Amino acid sequence: MEREIRLTNKMFYIDLDEKNKATLEYETKENNTVDFTSTYTPEQYRGQGIASKLIKTGLDWAVKSGYKIIPTCPAVQTYVVRHEEYQQHLAEEGE
């Protein structure tokens, strides 16, 4: 079942059922940067690629919006390492 990714203020999310959602949280910063701070997928939904879908959507949004990316969240860091196309959009140290 394809689930819709939604965007609210500072968060991408997918409603998984009536009580659960998977999230990718972010903060916009100075110097036109966006910091992806945290991902969460409820335990019973892990291993299905849901977090990866959220991360890809968030990174694509950041690139399209002209942001430099700060991957504070370890899952986002790992995703960027595995997907070289995002590495050129990383913020420089101190940005």
pLDDT of residue 95: 61
- Report if residue 94 sits inside a domain: no
Residue 68 located in a structural domain: yes
Is 70 exceeded by the pLDDT of residue 94? Answer: no
Claim: this prediction has a pTM higher than 0.85: yes
- Count Cβ atoms below 10 Å from residue 46 Cβ, excluding itself: 11
Among the listed residues 34, 22, 27, 23, the one whose alpha carbon sits nearest the alpha carbon of residue 10: 27
**Which residues make Cβ contacts (< 8 Å) with residue 14, sequence separation at least 6?**
3, 4, 5, 6, 21, 22, 50, 53, 54
Decide if 95 is inside a domain: no
| pLDDT tens digits, one per residue of 19-64 | 999 999 999 998 999 999 999 999 999 999 999 999 999 999 999 9
- Average pLDDT score over the chain: 94
Residue 1 has pLDDT above 70, yes or no: no
Q: Is residue 41 part of a domain?
A: yes
